[in-house]
């Protein structure tokens, strides 16, 4: 293997730059040329390749987002688009490809590997932490820290005005961000798609808090269960608590990555290159499992569902009382 390429696809997340940096410098240290593909699969189809040297990835480890940029490509889902992508990989003599991204990105990697025989390895990059096979994906820790900082700030104003705040967080159909931020942020309730919830019971709980002299309540709402604004209409005025809504939105996807995300991304990038070169990484995804780097088959990643730890649900319920 003489030349590899790397791309970031789908939603951006903090730590992607650290992963790209690690891929580039690890490959260069082994005498392998590296090309960056800009704008993900869209750039792969349109031929947006550029050679990367060590200096090109200097001073990016602390930056959020992805300097290669990202995009979603409907055209790549077509056979015509896929064949154009293969043509560009062959044109640039690419022997191996590293794909950094979430579910859709890894699905594209599986197509390239299974259908066209491309040597592809995936790196999980998604704040949702919904990717099967890895304990943690790049970007999750930073997103959680961002959410908890916001909860802490909202706590101050909620206490000052005797208010209930419904805080909507990202996560698609996975409640991990909501659950973990509720535990770490001291929320009174959390609504997630994995567990049935009882709105009336939550409202009664908040009323009781007001009667006990508490000055505020925080409820975390995962976007997978619906809009916090819709829940806000149901909550209204509870006891003496006015209800306010905060939707954190894309704020959660940006910002400088935490130390954990920088080191996780760096380890994953290096491991991806090493296993791609020794032939064990093709058709696989790099995964963090009990502090170690492991490989998981891409087909398993896409066909199996990651489950929330039931113990965490129990802890959240105990601590919210």
Output the CA torsion sign for 248, 254, 256, 258. positive
Lay out the sheet containing 120-124: strands in order across.
49-52, 33-37, 3-8, 96-101, 120-124, 284-289, 292-297
Q: 126 among the known binding-site residues?
A: yes
Q: 36 among the known binding-site residues?
A: no
Phi, psi for 35 (deg, rounded to 5): -120, 135
Residue 184 backbone zone (phi > 0: left; psi -120 to 50: alpha; other: beta): alpha
Q: 215 among the known binding-site residues?
A: yes
Q: 188 among the known binding-site residues?
A: yes
Q: Which residues, in sequence order, are CB contacts of 308 under 8 Å at separation 6+? A: 174, 175, 176, 179, 192, 194
Q: Which residues, in sequence order, are CB contacts of 44 under 8 Å at separation 6+? A: 7, 37, 76, 85, 88, 89
Q: 212 among the known binding-site residues?
A: no
How far apart CA 66 and CA 38 sit, in angstroms, is 10
How far apart CA 125 and CA 65 sit, in angstroms, is 11
Q: 266 among the known binding-site residues?
A: no
Q: 186 among the known binding-site residues?
A: yes
Q: 163 among the known binding-site residues?
A: yes
Q: 23 among the known binding-site residues?
A: yes
Q: 105 among the known binding-site residues?
A: yes
Q: 3 among the known binding-site residues?
A: no
How far apart CA 173 and CA 158 sit, in angstroms, is 28
Q: Which residue's structure tokens are 């770490």?
A: 184
Q: 226 among the known binding-site residues?
A: no
How far apart CA 101 and CA 10 sit, in angstroms, is 6
Strands (E), the chain: 3-8, 33-37, 49-52, 96-101, 120-124, 163-169, 189-191, 216-222, 242-247, 284-289, 292-297
List 12, 128, 130, 141, catalytic entry: 128
Q: 250 among the known binding-site residues?
A: yes
Q: 24 among the known binding-site residues?
A: yes
Q: 272 among the known binding-site residues?
A: no
Q: 161 among the known binding-site residues?
A: no
Q: Could you confirm whether 300 is annotated as catalytic?
A: no
Binding site for ATP: which residues?
11, 72-73, 102-105
> Which residues are annotated as catalytic?
128
Binding site: which residues?
11, 21-25, 72-73, 102-105, 126-128, 163, 170-172, 186-188, 214-216, 223, 244, 250-253
Binding site for Mg(2+): which residues?
103
Binding site for substrate: which residues?
126-128, 163, 170-172, 223, 244, 250-253
Binding site for ADP: which residues?
21-25, 186-188, 214-216
């Amino acid at each position: 293997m003489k030349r590899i390429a790397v791309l970031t696809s789908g939603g951006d997340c903090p730590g992607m730059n650290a992963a790209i940096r690690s891929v580039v410098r690890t490959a260069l240290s082994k005498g392998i040329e590296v090309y960056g593909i800009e704008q993900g699969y869209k750039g792969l189809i349109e031929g947006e390749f550029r050679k990367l040297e060590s200096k090109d990835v200097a001073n990016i480890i602390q930056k959020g987002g992805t300097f290669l940029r990202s995009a979603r490509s409907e055209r790549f889902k077509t056979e015509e688009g896929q064949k154009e992508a293969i043509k560009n990989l062959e044109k640039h003599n690419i022997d191996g490809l590293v794909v950094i991204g979430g579910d859709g990105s890894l699905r594209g990697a599986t197509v390239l590997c299974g259908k066209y025989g491309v040597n592809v390895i995936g790196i999980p990059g998604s704040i949702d932490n919904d990717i099967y096979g890895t304990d943690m994906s790049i970007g999750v820790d930073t997103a959680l820290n961002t959410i908890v900082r916001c909860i802490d700030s909202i706590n101050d104003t909620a206490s000052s005005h005797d208010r209930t705040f419904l805080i909507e967080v990202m996560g698609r159909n996975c409640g991990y961000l909501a659950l973990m931020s509720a535990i770490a942020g001291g929320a009174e309730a959390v609504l997630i798609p994995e567990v049935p919830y009882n709105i009336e019971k939550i409202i009664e709980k908040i009323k009781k808090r007001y009667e006990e002299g508490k000055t505020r309540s925080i409820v975390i709402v995962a976007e997978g269960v619906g809009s916090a604004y819709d829940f806000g209409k149901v909550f209204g005025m509870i006891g003496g608590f006015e209800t306010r809504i905060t939707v954190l939105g894309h704020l959660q996807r940006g910002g400088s990555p935490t130390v954990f995300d920088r080191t996780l991304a760096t380890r994953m990038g290096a491991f991806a290159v090493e296993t791609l070169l020794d032939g064990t990484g093709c058709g696989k995804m790099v995964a963090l499992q009990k502090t170690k780097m492991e490989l998981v088959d891409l087909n398993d990643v896409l066909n199996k569902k990651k489950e929330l730890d039931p113990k965490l649900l129990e802890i959240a319920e105990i601590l919210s009382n």
